[in-house]
Structure 1
């Protein structure tokens, strides 16, 4: 005897085939209803149902969702912002600063040829560094979306001496007064940390200030109109002279670091916290100033600190083509971003 066929209305159970355009209702055997394909009974949510019955083993959690996702260094560096990059990446690798004349081989010595090679290296390095400024600031720049003109930036070749003198003086003035807020605006991170430590140390000595005065600049202080590049390169015995100006791209879009080293000869008078008598000394400071552009946003000039001329060992390495430092700028940035990200 044939089983009776039941017709399910929309109030009970109603199915429509996806391949038909009509809404016709098909008869379904009650005993076969449980055999319907799972596609018709799939839940919208992928969350496992909670077993309400007692004694039922809980479902195993999704282990994959709890594993930490691996973020590649390349992706991490793309997401890095100005705060993660920071303002202190160290002195640019392979920076050449001509040693003082007394440390170089004499012109009349048997090493005359070596002295010539050193000055030729200085000339080649200056031309290469100048060309990098032209490429990044004038040539390989974005165009304005409205006018179509290249958005060139100023190279500031004629302002470098004055910028370095101002930052050099402002730093010592703020440090002598213990003005942390002022130091924060003109110092890079590393120098700021050293200045803060020095201020805390002299507080322990019950000295709130360390008086400092710039008495004069040693050498010839040329007028501003003569300090313009390229005339400034030819001025003899200048009290202020640019000895290096380099621009290096960073591994981010439209991001680079410009670092300029200016030699400043001056006479200073100061009283240290651990001394009861002031001193007056002639100083030759190689002041490192830098400006960072991050994703097209140009930052202000800041003082990184002081450095020293290249040693003869470093010069010999550059002459032999072995001047590559152990840690490159890109590696420094990767280490810094990885340290912040905890990778």
Structure 2
């Protein structure tokens, strides 16, 4: 029903109220102090002062100091190198393009191994005492998914701000504001579709990986991508008349089978994991992505991958 509700393509939506409290993190504040040095002093000839005389902190240092002294931002960028497994019919054929098919399967297997390793290292580096919620991941996204769509349909902006990361919540709220006046939307989840693409469970975990924020102690982000198949119903009604003669005229209900790639994210700061939020929608990884994305190249080192994450997070 994502298309029917006009969710933005290429981003993720979350609509459930998490069972655990969602921690709110304030925006990072950056304060620049400038000092003015006169170039001409009484009785002394003009002197020029270069930047080396007064060491200025770099952008990376200011960002790091701000996060250490204040609070973490409420969201992190998409983790580079995330492999979202496509449907089998959308991958190269093993009969006509065996090399390409092997490359896709090898990249997928490699990403699963690296994802698991990233979680082990993440827990060790951040000294997390709680478990990694192996058995609760589907339950978390199931609740978030349902709550998000319910809030989006009813126009509950406060709920969307709590359920989604700020950038995605703003997109959903903008769509709510653009609705015609007097329109009422109702969303219902009919059932989970237990198909082979979700291993007959309705929800399949495609990627679960994490990374520590460089140079920021006990801070990092965890990202999980799901494939969700469900049958959803959406009904719209519009207000007709004014005053006592006001009534709502319902439009025909729309029942649709949906396949969605939902991403949820959790920020850890000072060793304390925050609440799970929906980051947006993802797209399956294509063979073209594997060919062009440097993070999928076999020659890309771990240091280069880490530097890429730092750049996207604004730490480099």
Do Structure 1 and Structure 2 share a fold, with TM-score over 0.5? yes
- C-alpha contact 2:266 2:276 (8 A) present in aligned 1: yes
Match of 1:104 among 83, 91, 97: 91
**2:206 aligns to what?**
243
Partner Cα distance (2:60, 2:171) in 1: 32
More strand per residue:
2
Over 3 Å counting, the alpha-carbon distance change for 1:86 and 1:116 in structure 2 is same
2:105 to 119, 124, 127: 119
Contact 2:183 2:236 in 1 (8 A): no
1:154 and 2:139 aligned:
no
The whole-number CA distance in structure 2 between the counterparts of 1:129 and 1:237 is: 23
Q: Match of 1:253?
A: 217
- Give ranges in structure 1 of 5+ residues lacking alignment: 1-56, 58-62, 143-150, 222-232, 339-343
Q: What is the SS of the residue equivalent to 1:98?
A: coil
Gaps of 5+ in 2: 1-41, 43-47, 239-249
SS at match of 1:78: helix
The answer to whether the Cα contact below 8 Å between 2:188 and 2:234 also exists between their aligned partners in 1 is yes
Q: Equivalent of 1:89, from 64, 67, 76?
A: 76
C-alpha distance in structure 2 between counterparts of 1:248 and 1:123, whole Å: 19
Seen in structure 2, the aligned counterparts of structure 1 residues 207 and 69 have a Cα distance that, compared at 3 Å, is farther
What count of residue pairs does the alignment treat as equivalent? 251
Paired with 2:313 and 2:74, the residues of 1 have a C-alpha distance of 11
Partner of 2:141: 164
Q: Which residue of 2 aligns with 1:262?
A: 226
Structure 1 residues 272 and 101: CA distance shift in structure 2, 3 A: farther
> How far apart are residue 322 of structure 1 and its match?
7.6
**C-alpha displacement at 1:141, in angstroms?**
4.5
Residues of 2 paired with 1:94 and 1:69: CA distance? 36
RMSD: 3.5
1:15-94 to structure 2, matched below 5 A, reads 70-81=56-67, 85-94=72-81
Q: How much does 1:265 deviate?
A: 0.2
Q: Deviations over 1:296-335 (max 9, x none)?
A: 221011111111101220023466548889x933123227
- Return the alpha-carbon distance in structure 2 between the equivalents of residues 72 and 247 of structure 1: 27
Give 1:147-226 correspondences, 5 Å limit: 152-202=129-179, 205-207=180-182, 209-219=184-194
The answer on 1:329 being equivalent to 2:315 is: no
Which residue is 1:305 aligned to? 280
Q: Distance in 2 between matches of 1:178 and 1:208?
A: 10
2:17 aligned partner: none
Higher relative contact order (CA 8 A, sep 6+): 2
Which residue is equivalent to 1:293?
A: 268
Look up the SS of the partner of 1:92 in the other structure. Answer: coil
Change (3 A) 1:309 1:71: same
